[in-house]
Amino acid sequence: DTAVSQTPKYLVTQMGNDKSIKCEQNLGHDTMYWYKQDSKKFLKIMFSYNNKELIINETVPNRFSPKSPDKAHLNLHINSLELGDSAVYFCASSQLAGEQFFGPGTRLTVL
């Protein structure tokens, strides 16, 4: 029944490792997003895909690479993890530019 789901919920890893976070939505939406929430709770958009096409690509390190195999899935791969990547990453989806619905978040801790 979950509308927007993410895995894993928690991710603890060492600096320099590569990791992926997966997101799936069953709302039939055509647009999906990745947001980063830092330790001060500030939320900032990173990427957005519409029907598998990248439409928003904020200034983030190119160690971050999103991939959308289909419009119901959006994954985030992070290479060479750094301490500063520690944050909560939220996936969201919407129909076109409509209301965005958020997933439960993935708390990434880089040691």
Nearer to another protein by Cβ, of 41 and 69: the residue is 41
User: By CB under 8 A, is residue 75 in contact with another protein?
Assistant: no
User: By CB under 8 A, is residue 63 in contact with another protein?
Assistant: no
Nearer to another protein by Cβ, of 19 and 56: the residue is 56
Q: Write out 22-43 in H/E/C secondary structure.
A: EEEECCCCCEEEEEEECCCCCE
User: By CB under 8 A, is residue 59 in contact with another protein?
Assistant: no
At CA 25, angle to CA 86 and CA 35, rounded to 5? 30
User: By CB under 8 A, is residue 60 in contact with another protein?
Assistant: no
> Quick one: which of 68, 81, 90, 108 contacts another protein (CB under 8 A)?
90
Maximal CA-CA distance, the chain: 38
The three-class DSSP label of residue 86 is coil
Separation between Cα atoms, residue 3 and residue 13, nearest integer Å: 28
Nearer to another protein by Cβ, of 75 and 106: the residue is 106
User: By CB under 8 A, is residue 25 in contact with another protein?
Assistant: no
Q: Are 5 and 73 spatial neighbours (Cβ–Cβ below 8 Å)?
A: no
> Which residues lie near another protein (CB under 8 A)?
31, 33, 40-45, 48, 50, 55-56, 90, 94, 96-105
